[in-house]
Amino acid sequence: MLLPQKHSATGTTIFTVMSALATEYNAINLSQGFPDFPIDEQLGNFLHEATVKGFNQYAPMPGLPILRQAISNDFERRYGVTINPDTEITITPGATYAIYTAFTSILQADDEVIVLEPAYDSYIPNIETNGAKAITVALRAPDFSVDWDAVKAAITPKTKAIIINTPHNPTGAMWNREDWDILASIVRDTNIIILSDEVYEQLVFDGKKHFTVLQHPELRHRSFVLYSFGKVFHNTGWKMGYCIAPPEYTTAFRRIHQFLCFSVNTPAQYALANYLSQPTLPEVSGMMQQKRDYFLKQLAQTPFTIHQPASGSYFQTVSYEQVSDMPDMEFAQWLTKACGVATIPISAFYRNKKDDKLIRFCFAKKEETISEAVERLTKLKVPA
**Residues in contact with ligand PMP by the rule CB under 6 A:** 33, 94-96, 120, 165, 169, 197, 199, 228, 230, 236, 239, 241
| Alpha carbon distance 185, 271 (integer Å) | 41
Q: How many CB atoms lie within 10 A of CB 297?
A: 11
Cβ nearer to ligand PMP, comparing 95 with 173: 95
Residue 139-178 contact track with ligand GLN, rule CB under 6 A, x = bound: ------------------------------x---------
Provide the residue type at 247 as one letter. Answer: P
**b/e map 205-223, b = 16+ CB within 10 Å:** beeeebbbbbebeebbebb
- Pick from 7, 15, 44, 372 the residue near ligand GLN by CB under 6 A: 15
From ligand PMP, ligand GLN, none, which one binds at residue 32 (CB under 5 to 8 Å depending on kind)? ligand GLN
- Pairing assessment for the beta strands 315-319 and 358-362 based on DSSP bridges: antiparallel
93: preceding bond cis by omega (within 30 degrees): no
| Alpha carbon distance 63, 272 (integer Å) | 12
- Does residue 32 interact with ligand GLN by CB under 6 A? yes
Cβ nearer to ligand PMP, comparing 164 with 318: 164
Cβ nearer to ligand GLN, comparing 241 with 340: 241
**Minimum distance from residue 301 beta carbon to ligand PMP (Å):** 28
Provide the residue type at 58 as one letter. Answer: Y
- Number of chain positions touching ligand GLN (CB under 6 A): 5
From ligand GLN, ligand PMP, none, which one binds at residue 277 (CB under 5 to 8 Å depending on kind)? none
Provide the residue type at 271 as one letter. Answer: A
**Minimum distance from residue 177 beta carbon to ligand PMP (Å):** 21
| Alpha carbon distance 346, 173 (integer Å) | 14
For 135, the 3-state DSSP assignment is strand
Which residues of the shown chain bind ligand GLN in the complex (CB under 6 A)? 13, 15, 32-33, 169
